[in-house]
Amino acid sequence: MSLTDRISKLLDPDVLEVQIGLRYREKADHCNLMPESYRFAAYKNLFILTYGRTRAKEERRPLPSCLVFLVRSKFPDPNNKYRGFQAKKRRKN
């Protein structure tokens, strides 16, 4: 299976809805999912595909811009407003 095929499967709305439902069982309203929900789940999938699973939030890294643009084109924000990657602020000891 090619990388393009894998990415297409990971961005499939049906796959993302299952993921969203598993993460937010009591909150998920499958009739009213917003593009933001799909984008979040898609970013998570692509992060794991790109970097592997991490445990600590300090290990967060931005996705390659080509993947970010792909997700945004597939699940656009109606107002074209996106937060983008924000590194976790380190605590002062």
Question: What is the mean pLDDT for each group of 10 consecutive residues in the chain (93 residues)?
Answer: 89 92 64 82 92 75 93 94 77 59
- Residue-level pLDDT at 84: 82
Burial of 44 (0-12, 13-18, 19+ CB in 10 A): middle
Question: What residues contact 15, with CB distance under 8 A and at least 6 apart?
Answer: 9, 45
Helices and strands: H and E segment counts in the chain: 4, 0
- Residue-level pLDDT at 86: 78
Q: What SS3 class is residue 73?
A: helix
Q: Mind listing the pLDDT tens digit for each residue in 10-31?
A: 999 999 999 888 877 655 555 5
Ordered by start, the domain boundaries in the chain are 3-74
Residue with the two structure tokens 């593009």: 35
- Residue-level pLDDT at 70: 95
How far is Cα 40 from Cα 19, in angstroms, rounded to an integer?
10
